[in-house]
Amino acid sequence: MRLDLLRHGTTGRDGYLDGRTDPPLSEAGFEQFRRQTQSRAWRRIVSSPLARARAAAEDYARQAGGELHVDPDWSELHFGRWDGRKRSDIVSDPEGAALLETFYADPAVAAPDGESWADLQARVSRAVDRVLATPEPAPVLVVTHGGAIRAALTHLLGWPLHQLWSLRIHPGTRLTLEAGQSADGAPWAEIVEIIQP
């Protein structure tokens, strides 16, 4: 199956921990999405329910005549009390800086009143498996978030989550994979293309 993972375009809030905080796409963000989807055709589109991903996915599905499925498991990581805050504000406090560093270093550590990377990986893995289990092997476009894409790559490629910080996924980035499931149901994938905006 051809699987495209597309991070939503920019909201103009670089440097903020926007997990469940849901600012709208900027016009530049819609343009990034249009450039990544022009001259390409997906009949199956899956989207996070967050508006910054869903709005562009809905537009694309309507124009392309595709089937859109909104799946909450593709939502961005929930940053809890950090959600919507600027990263620089959190690290300006030594205690916040230490906790944030631990949070990024250890997938089992949750954001205060939020999720851990392991939590994110578990729900995104379920979402990936649902996509792969669909009997129709037509190409699929998933419109989601940077954290969810990293969790999907961990599941599909078997890479440790902490190593995926070495892969830059700007807003508007599209990753194309050939993906499937082996006879025992284990997922596999091969990265075919990475297109940064």
Provide the H-helix boundaries in the chain: 27-37, 51-64, 87-91, 94-105, 117-133, 146-157
What is d(CA 52, CA 174) in angstroms, rounded to the nearest whole number? 15
Identity of the amino acid at 182: S
CATH numeric code, 2-195: 3.40.50.1240
The tens digit of pLDDT for each residue in 68-106 reads 999 999 999 999 999 999 999 999 999 999 999 999 999
pLDDT digits over 21-60, tens only?
A: 999 999 999 999 999 999 899 999 999 999 999 999 999 9
Domain boundaries, the chain: 2-195
